[in-house]
């Protein structure tokens, strides 16, 4: 049998950039991409400029540390509605997306944790409630090789910066306390969270109020990213604030930013 080559899709590198306030036109980062096919050229463009996005890649200094995403406060919804956080993850295991919450139930939680790669062999998915005093209550767990989703789809043996991102979502029903970690077929915002990987119920909490998105990983170079969404707060979109050179991937400050009013 002869196996012929196909054009594999490239995917972007993680790039972190910082810049002093008040600068305009200064290049602050140089993007790039990974491509299994050699000799390819890539052109870069900014998309969804009216959307808010977040991303975090763990470093050696924040391993096993809960990191909050500034500005990723979720919009208020009706008590009967489900709150869904669409996110992507590339990890070697033991990585947590946490939702900090308030509540009116007798066991109002400090946060809920959706963990990928729990268990002694990093072979499980886990849901738990973490109280403000540090105590934990397990809500559900399941083997990571759930139907239709292989272990490699979620936890790879590669570092997060070079591993492929898995499309996931954390879902919380504010009225019933039912929550689940689910898998999505692709990264498009309209794709349904159809495959439930693990699901549990917090019977102690009558109503949840999700306040903040947080994350933690036991491994450096674990990648968490959002699926970009229209922000509920004004002034959060990057329109006009940054510019990008398509041929080189150079990212520059399009407008002077003010640290105190970012």
Q: Which residues of 55-83 are buried (b: 16+ CB within 10 A; e: fewer)?
A: ebbbeeeeeeeebeeeebbbeeeeeeebb
Residue-level pLDDT at 217 = 93
Residue-level pLDDT at 205 = 65
Does 248 reside within a domain? Answer: no
Does 38 reside within a domain? Answer: no
220: containing domain: 54-230
Nearest to 223 by CA among 55, 79, 61, 85: 55
Does 48 reside within a domain? Answer: no
Does 260 reside within a domain? Answer: no
Mean pLDDT computed over 10-19: 75
Beta bridge partners of 179: 172, 200
The region of weakest confidence among 61-65, 171-175, 226-230 is 226-230
Alpha-carbon gap, residue 257 to 254, rounded angstroms: 9
State how many domains the chain has: 1
Backbone angles phi, psi at 154, to 5 degrees: -115, -50
Residue-level pLDDT at 114 = 94
pTM for this predicted structure: 0.72
CATH assignment at residue 115: 2.60.120
Q: pLDDT tens digits for 40-92?
A: 888 888 776 666 677 888 888 999 998 887 555 555 555 557 788 888 898 88
The region of weakest confidence among 35-44, 163-172, 192-201, 230-239 is 230-239
Residue-level pLDDT at 155 = 77
Contacts of 129 (CB under 8 A, 6+ apart): 107, 109, 111, 112, 113, 136, 137, 139, 202, 204, 205
Q: pLDDT tens digits for 185-212?
A: 887 777 888 889 999 998 876 567 777 8
Does 109 reside within a domain? Answer: yes
Position with higher pLDDT, 113 vs 247: 113
């Amino acid at each position: 049998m002869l196996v012929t080559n196909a054009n594999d899709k490239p995917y972007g590198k993680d790039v972190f950039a910082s810049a002093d306030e008040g600068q305009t036109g200064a290049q602050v980062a140089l993007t790039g991409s990974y491509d299994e096919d050699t000799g390819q050229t890539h052109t870069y463009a900014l998309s969804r400029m009216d959307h808010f996005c977040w991303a975090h890649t763990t470093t050696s200094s924040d391993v096993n540390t809960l990191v909050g995403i500034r500005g990723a406060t979720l919009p208020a919804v009706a008590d009967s509605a489900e709150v869904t956080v669409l996110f992507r993850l590339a990890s070697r295991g033991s990585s947590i997306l946490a939702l900090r919450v308030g509540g009116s139930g007798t066991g109002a939680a400090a946060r809920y944790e959706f963990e990928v790669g729990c268990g002694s062999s990093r072979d499980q998915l886990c849901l738990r409630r973490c109280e403000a005093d540090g105590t934990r209550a397990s809500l559900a767990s399941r083997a990571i090789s759930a139907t239709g989703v292989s272990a490699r789809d979620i936890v790879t043996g590669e570092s997060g910066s070079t591993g492929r991102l898995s499309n996931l979502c954390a879902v919380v029903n504010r009225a019933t306390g039912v929550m689940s970690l689910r898998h999505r077929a692709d990264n498009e915002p309209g794709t349904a969270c159809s495959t439930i990987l693990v699901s549990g119920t917090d019977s102690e909490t009558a109503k949840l109020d999700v306040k903040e998105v947080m994350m933690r990983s036991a491994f450096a170079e674990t990648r968490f990213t959002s699926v970009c969404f229209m922000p509920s707060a004004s002034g959060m979109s990057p329109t006009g604030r940054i510019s990008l050179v398509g041929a080189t991937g150079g990212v520059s400050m399009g407008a002077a930013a003010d640290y105190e009013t970012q």
